[in-house]
Chain A
Amino acid sequence: MHSAVTGPHAHLQAQVRWRRIEIAFWLCTLAPFVAAPAYLQLASQIAITALFALSLDLILGYAGIVSLGHAAFFGLGAYAAGLLSKHAWGEPLSGLLIASAVSAAVGYAMSFIIARFRHLALIMITLGLGLLLHEAANSASWLTGGADGLQGMKIRPLFETFRFDLYGRTAYTYSVVVLFLTFLAARRIIHSPFGLALRGIRENATRMPAIGAPSHAHLRKIYALSAAMAGVAGALLAQTTSTVSLEVLSFQRSADVLVILILGGAGRLYGGIVGAIIYMVARDQFSGISPQFWYFWIGLLLVVVVMFLPNGILGGLAKITARWQRKAP
């Protein structure tokens, strides 16, 4: 309502402003060092998953591209980083950049197909491309190690000083800093006019080209960006664990990240992060009992979220606070 009065720039600026709860949230990411030093490896996994979910949020939550094969880019990044450290050099930061460039290049190439489709055809094509890559990595066992996974990665210490230790101190610091920097970039992107155009495409895909927005070009751009981010997440996983298994490309991973994002709330930036924290902690606690059992709960959760929480946990919270604020004055 205010934006109509004060103009689009003020509207965008109001959204960009950092809220107190956001700053508090990022300060909380330091807490695991003090509160749970034994769980830093898990915390680093959470940060990586959050980054992956954030990358999916860019295309699904903001541009409305439903993907059942986003693990393709995660896996590409992981294999790129792994192969680089095995055959060339093990310096992690440059490895991260190269892995993300590989994912971005493949993502940009694929985006020419992706941007043309919607609905079922889009779901099927993303699913098919993901499965295709999984099969390719499985067949090319001379390069990827196939089902045994990629072995023999040699990762140098970060900045030649901080080794990736058993406790995960370096791994967590590294992952969380990369997550934060990527988050800043994503935040900048979605609050730009370009981000606004993406939301326009999500809401009405036929109208945007009609009012002169280059829809396909926008979709291609955000798809490549999202692929690059997923690649960074994959590379982080490869570097912090020093292995790459075929699982990084699996359909299961694509489905998991979708569940995480929907659980947290798509199109809200923090949805993927909140979802990743809840999902990973719950899995760590419960999956020891039986992995099949775990998927029963995930299934039930999906059913319940779709039925009762259409915008995820963050959407539900926003609704509650909005109602509360309306009542308060």
Chain B
Amino acid sequence: MLASLASVLFDGFAYGMLLFLLSVGLSVTLGMMNFVNLAHCSFAMVGGYVTVTLANAFGWPFFATLPAAFLSAAAASVVLERTLYRRLYRASDLDQCLFTIGIVFISVAAAAYLYGTLQQPINTPPTLQGALEFLGMRFGVYRLFLIVTALVITAILVAALEYTRFGAQVRAAVDNPRMARGLGVDVDRAFAITFALGGGLAGLGGALAIEIVGLDHAFAFTYLVYVLIVVAVGGLGSIGGSFVAAAVLGISDMAGKYYFPQLGAFFIYLVMIALLIWRPAGLFGKR
């Protein structure tokens, strides 16, 4: 019982870290521009497919594909932001929703057209396979790698946000974009960079997700709901909130699947609705 509890906690936390990588960019950009970007998981899909293509067709080592996944997703998000999204910052929630759902539809169809509808295979290097024994419990090496990666990224993000000039500009823009603009902060530029960073992190998350949850053409839809839950529960524009929400969501999803498999995702949705009714702005949200 205790061993299973520990493994549920461990696997759930690893899964939560994956969700954190996928959603942190959306949380910050939503807090900044109030732009409801439902196509955030499409960037994750870009990263995933780049990794699969480089690893399988070009024989790149797995570790080398990860920066490529990050950069290509960041590039894709910059292009989309500069050409299309920026026209919609003043549009209504509904228009933003519809527009980005349209992008999701297009990306899902494009992925199905280019790669087919099967799950994409990936070979992780031998160093990431197997499991470590500790106090009689087994921990998957890949999941450990995932957790460490996510923790390192979180530390870098928090430090950059807290201690750099750019981080201060981003915080100012999230707190009050109009005031920040008035004080001479180039909010559009800060937003574009944050957006690219968030898209890149989603791409990295998508690449790392293949081993854990698989990658197929519908990825952008399947994980959209989870990412939105993390963002809505964690609160907009809050990295700490996203971290806690993602960890809680990952662990409770894993626990629900392990202990009450017949309930499916029912439990998760119930928790989300209850939390939102209790605190509409999320656990750590200000607005």
Contact = CB atoms under 8 A, between A and B. Distances in A.
A66 B272 contact: no
B136 to A, nearest CB: 35
B280 interface: yes
Contacts of A306: 88, 91, 95, 98-99, 102
Contacts of B79: none
A131 B98 contact: no
Given A113-B277, A120-B30, A124-B276, A135 B269 contact: yes
Interface string A52-72: 000000001000001010000
A139 B273 CA distance: 19
A101 interface: no
Interface residues of A, number: 40
Interface stretch (B63-71, B122-130, B190-198, B257-265): B257-265
A131 B269 contact: yes
B112 interface: yes
A292 interface: yes
Given A120-B93, A292-B109, A299-B104, A132 B269 contact: yes
Interface in A238-297: 251, 255, 258-259, 262, 292-293, 295-296
A139 B94 CA distance: 31
Contact of B103 (A116, A128, A138, A299): A299
A217 B5 CA distance: 47
Contacts of A129: 273
B266 A262 contact: no
Contacts of B255: none
Contacts of B87: 307
B98 A123 contact: no
A136 interface: yes
Interface in B8-51: 30, 36
B220 to A, nearest CB: 11
A121 interface: yes
A215 B253 CA distance: 37
A295 B104 CA distance: 10
Given A119-B93, A120-B93, 11 more contacts: A113-B277, A120-B236, A121-B232, A124-B228, A128-B273, A139-B263, A259-B98, A292-B112, A292-B113, A296-B105, A299-B108
B273 A135 contact: no
A125 B273 CA distance: 6
Interface in A282-329: 292-293, 295-296, 298-303, 305-307, 310
Contacts of B280: 116-117, 121
B276 to A, nearest CB: 6
Given A66-B93, A292-B112, A296-B110, A302 B269 contact: no
Contacts of B143: none
A251 B109 CA distance: 17
Contacts of B30: 120
A299 B84 CA distance: 14
B264 A139 contact: yes
A60 B105 CA distance: 22
B81 to A, nearest CB: 15
A123 B109 contact: no
B249 to A, nearest CB: 13
Nearest to B91: A306
B279 to A, nearest CB: 9
Contacts of B236: 120
B36 A120 contact: yes
A127 interface: yes
Contact of B109 (A128, A293, A305): A293
B232 A124 contact: yes
A108 B181 CA distance: 44
A132 B113 CA distance: 31
A103 B173 CA distance: 44
- Interface hub of A132, A302, A307 (most chain B Cβ within 10 A): A302
B102 A121 contact: no
A314 B94 CA distance: 18
Contacts of A120: 30, 36, 93, 232, 236
Interface in A58-112: 60, 66, 68
B97 interface: yes
Contact of A66 (B94, B225, B228, B265): B94
Nearest to B94: A66
Contacts of A303: 84, 99, 102-103, 106
A293 B112 CA distance: 9
B101 interface: yes
Contact of A128 (B97, B104, B269): B269
Contacts of B112: 292
B117 interface: yes
A97 to B, nearest CB: 29
B270 A132 contact: yes
Interface string B184-226: 0000000000000000000000000000000001000000010
Contacts of B107: 299
Given A121-B280, A128-B273, A132-B270, A295 B105 contact: yes
